[in-house]
Amino acid sequence: MFRLQKMGLFLLAAVATTALPALAQQKTRNVVLIVCDGLRWQEVFTGADPTLLNPEHGGIWATPEALRREYWREDVTERRKTLFPFLWSVVETKGQIFGNQAKGSVAHVTNGKAFSYPGYNEMITGHPDARIDSNQFGPNPNVNVFEWLNQIPEFRGHVAVYGTWDAFTDIFNQKRSGLVVQAGWDPPSKRMSTARGEMLDGLYRTTTRYEDDATYDAFLQPALLDYVRNAHPRALFVGYGETDTWAHSGRYDLVLQSAHHFDQFVEQLWETMQQMPEYRDQTTFILTADHGRGSGLVEWKDHGAQAKGSENIWIAVIGPDTSPLHERGNLGEVTQAQIAATVAALLGKDFRSQVPEAAPPLSDVLRPTN
């Protein structure tokens, strides 16, 4: 069965190399899909929630006054830019962002579950799978767009997954796909330069863990940057997880801090890649979340089918083939399932022709080719 699956993938890849001649004119040569786990659209579009900037409802340990000085601004435009300066100064200015429901733009999951494994499966395979009903589901039976791209000769060996959660090994089915996967607390030194790798291995080994299945975002970042500089991946998935961790823990102050750090990490990765000739002006970033969360004074901590609103997410895109249409409004709906085909389309490939159940790409982020 494994041999048949691999043979099928190679046949799909062979067809893909001749598909979509119009899309082959895209300027994008590299795509990075970046996920901030459980980051709500409310924080993305309106910044810090004033009802949670207190110990009673936000569980904060810092003084409310200090937290307000850091993240609160009366004007919503300034408030969200304070929390996400790169997203709102660069990504939104030069690209597009979907999901502000206050402006009639809805981005949502279609899996009906609104938690992590079903969300990651939907975004990388282009369709939900009702069988996936647990974060401990095990190896993903569905072929994902990164695995598929890795079978195409021009991308083979240049596709990778870097994430803080150890479940990514199963979500991307590393055993079947053969993808480079750096996940959880697996020491990253085998893919890093000696000195940096030894230092980071020491941190992985000696740091007290808050969660056994997920490392810290700050630990992932140097390993990620080192890999990009040395391996030059063409298709890359990056998963940061602390926003979800601290929300489940009821620490709104740390949610804001980790969200702000996420923005900094994305900026650092963007600037690193823009300084490299392999990536400069040839790279598209897609930013999103695997699920949303509930709202109000209690449900902001949780998500899932019972937490109303946690099906709502946000999606942002910046790159040479994405017209600068900024914050989108009155567009109706876009879905998480459209991300997989969008990754492929930006690289000039038609994932949907091979996986027909996958949703179509986000056409608005693909500059028309004439």
Confidence at residue 193, expressed as pLDDT on a 0 to 100 scale: 62
CA distance 58 to 75: 21
CA distance 168 to 116: 10
Amino acid letter for position 357? E
From first CA to last CA, the distance across the chain in angstroms is: 43
Q: Which residues contact 196 (CB under 8 A, 6 or more apart)?
A: 222, 226
Confidence at residue 199, expressed as pLDDT on a 0 to 100 scale: 85
DSSP percent split of the chain into helix, strand, coil, nearest 5 = 45, 15, 40
CA distance 187 to 197: 8
Q: Model's pTM, two decimal places?
A: 0.93
- 214: helix, strand or coil: strand
Cα-Cα-Cα-Cα dihedral sign, residues 82, 83, 86, 87? negative
User: What is residue 160's DSSP assignment?
Assistant: E
- Give the residue extent of every domain in the chain: 2-365
β-strands 315-318, 96-98 pairing: antiparallel
Place domain 2-365 in its CATH homologous superfamily.
Alkaline Phosphatase, subunit A (3.40.720.10)
**CA distances for 249 relative to 102, 237, 245, 288, angstroms:** 28, 26, 6, 22
CA distance 299 to 91: 29
* Each residue's pLDDT expressed in tens, for the chain with a length of 370 residues: 434 444 455 444 444 444 444 454 789 999 999 999 999 999 999 999 999 999 999 999 988 999 999 999 999 999 999 999 999 999 999 999 999 999 999 999 999 999 999 999 999 999 999 999 999 999 999 999 999 999 999 999 999 999 999 999 999 999 999 999 999 999 887 766 677 778 888 889 899 999 999 999 999 999 999 999 999 999 999 999 999 999 999 999 999 999 999 999 999 999 999 999 999 999 999 999 999 999 999 999 999 999 999 999 999 999 999 999 999 998 889 999 999 999 999 999 999 988 999 999 999 999 764 4
pLDDT tens column, 204-236 = 989 999 999 999 999 999 999 999 999 999 999
Angle (nearest 5°) at CA 48 between 46 and 49: 90
State which H helix or E strand residue 299 sits in: helix 296-299
Using DSSP, how many helices (H) and how many strands (E) does the chain show?
18, 11
- Phi and psi based region of residue 357 (left: phi greater than 0; alpha: psi -120 to 50; beta: remaining): alpha
Confidence at residue 121, expressed as pLDDT on a 0 to 100 scale: 98
Confidence at residue 197, expressed as pLDDT on a 0 to 100 scale: 79
- 278: helix, strand or coil: coil
CA distance 60 to 282: 42
CA distance 250 to 80: 21
Which of 102, 140, 104 lies closest to 121, judged by CA?
Answer: 140
Other beta carbons less than 10 A from residue 122's beta carbon: 28
Strands lying side by side in the sheet with 332-335? 312-313, 105-108, 332-335
Angle (nearest 5°) at CA 61 between 57 and 65: 80
Backbone angles phi, psi at 342, to 5 degrees: -65, -45
Confidence at residue 201, expressed as pLDDT on a 0 to 100 scale: 86
pLDDT tens column, 170-179 = 999 999 999 9
- Phi and psi based region of residue 104 (left: phi greater than 0; alpha: psi -120 to 50; beta: remaining): left
Residues 329 and 103 sit within 8 Å (Cβ to Cβ): yes
